[in-house]
């Protein structure tokens, strides 16, 4: 089911309403500008209308934040001069004519060296492969550090790591397989935010669900995890 509301500055927007077997109400605005409202099966339509009316300003502020950076971090259709974040820093992606394909980084630029500077497919492939390699290395280092300092003593097996593009999550943990998957766009975040995501996913190897024990564990080992999470959600744009 869909609802339509009228915002002050952005006009009409559609909201996908999903009835689920849940107890709590969850309203989310995504970076692709979609809006979803999940709620228990027995919630009345009149209540939904009033609830959405009360959330108009919040919805509009979230949409405007994402629209302000739309395209800024999109790694799917790059050109020379495109901007992105990497480890919390603003970086410019520049094509460079070269005798071989490789990537190098200075303080403010990611230089994509290409044998054929006009071959955009090669440009995207070289950059994407390099980005995923960097992401894997950074995430692996953080997993190793936290595993050795915190989780090893709990008898938890060190997880395997994979990288993929994800629309709504920074990471996910499959406890039964001992596997953690990280969003490749997480590499845009400051290292302290990456450490929070790594700790969050590793904690799922001990506590499957987001229980009180889960969050108590996070707080013990990273007292400022909430501020790191807020920084991640507010400052890192996935460009999706």
Whole-number Å distance between alpha carbons of 93 and 83: 6
- Asked if 126 and 114 touch (Cβ cutoff 8 Å), the reply is yes
Burial classification of residue 10, based on how many CB atoms lie within 10 Å of its CB (0-12 exposed, 13-18 middle, 19 or more buried): middle
Residue 141 above 70 pLDDT? yes
The reply to whether the predicted model has a pTM over 0.85 is: no
Instruction: Kindly tell me if the per-residue pLDDT of 151 is higher than 70.
Output: yes
What is the percent of the chain where pLDDT is above 90?
72
Percent of the chain at pLDDT exceeding 70:
92
The candidate with the shortest Cα–Cα distance to 35, out of 22, 48, 44, 23, is 48
Which one, of 132, 134, 97, 90, lies nearest residue 112 by Cα?
97
> For the chain, which domains are there?
2-68 (no CATH), 83-128 (no CATH), 132-235 (3.30.2010.10)
* Mean pLDDT, the chain, whole residue set: 90
Residue scoring higher pLDDT (110 or 70): 110
The answer for residues whose C-beta is within 8 angstroms of residue 238's C-beta and 6 or more apart is: 31, 73, 167, 183, 185, 188
Lowest mean pLDDT among 117-121, 129-133, 159-163, 222-226: 117-121
For 214-239, give the DSSP string.
HHHHHHHH-TTHHHHHHHHHHH----
Res 239 pLDDT > 70: no
Confidence of residue 80 (pLDDT cuts 50, 70, 90): confident
Whether 75 shows a pLDDT value over 80: the answer reads no
pLDDT score of 118 more than 70? yes
pLDDT score for 173: 96
State the average pLDDT over residues 112-130.
Answer: 94
Q: Which of 27-31, 153-157, 220-224 has the lowest mean pLDDT?
A: 27-31
71 band by pLDDT with thresholds 50, 70 and 90? very low
Least-confidence region, from 4-13, 15-24, 30-39: 30-39
pLDDT at 50: 95
Encoded tokens for 188 = 């845009």
- Total residues found in the chain within this entry: 240
Average pLDDT over residues 194-213: 96
For 31-35, 119-123, 234-238, which range has the lowest pLDDT when averaged over its residues? Answer: 234-238
Tokens (6 digits) for 235: 């400052």
Q: Tokens 């959600």 identify what position?
A: 233
> Which of the two residues, 64 and 174, has the higher pLDDT score?
174
The whole-number pLDDT of residue 74 equals 55
Q: How many other CB atoms are there within 10 angstroms of residue 48's CB atom? A: 17
CB crowding 190-225: b at 16 or more within 10 Å, else e = beebbbbbbbbbbbbbebeeeeeebeebbeeebeeb
User: What interhelical angle do 45-54 and 56-68 show, nearest 10?
Assistant: 60
Ramachandran class of 26: left when φ > 0, alpha when ψ lies in -120 to 50, beta otherwise? beta
Residue 116, pLDDT above cutoff 50: yes
- Which two tokens mark 34? 């979609």
């Amino acid at each position: 089911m869909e609802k339509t509301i009228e915002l002050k500055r952005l006009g009409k927007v559609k909201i996908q309403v999903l009835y689920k077997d849940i107890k709590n109400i969850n309203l989310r605005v995504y970076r692709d500008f979609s809006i979803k409202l999940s709620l228990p099966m027995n919630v009345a339509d009149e209540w939904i209308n009033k609830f959405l009316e009360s959330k108009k300003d919040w919805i509009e502020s979230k949409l405007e934040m994402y629209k302000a950076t739309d395209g800024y971090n999109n790694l799917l259709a790059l050109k020379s001069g495109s901007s992105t974040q990497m480890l919390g820093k603003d970086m410019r992606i520049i094509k460079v004519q070269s005798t071989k394909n490789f990537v190098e980084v200075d303080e403010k630029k990611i230089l994509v060296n290409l044998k054929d500077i006009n071959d955009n497919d090669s440009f995207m492939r070289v950059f994407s492969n390099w980005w995923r390699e960097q992401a894997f290395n950074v995430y692996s280092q953080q997993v190793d550090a936290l595993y050795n300092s915190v989780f090893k003593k709990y008898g938890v097996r060190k997880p395997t790591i994979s990288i993929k593009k994800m629309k709504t999550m920074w990471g996910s943990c499959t406890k039964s397989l001992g596997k953690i998957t990280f969003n490749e766009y997480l590499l845009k975040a400051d290292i302290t935010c990456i450490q929070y995501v790594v700790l969050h996913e590793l904690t799922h190897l001990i506590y499957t669900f987001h229980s009180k024990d889960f969050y108590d564990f996070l707080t013990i080992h990273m007292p400022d995890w909430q501020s790191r999470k807020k920084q991640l959600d507010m400052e890192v744009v996935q460009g999706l």
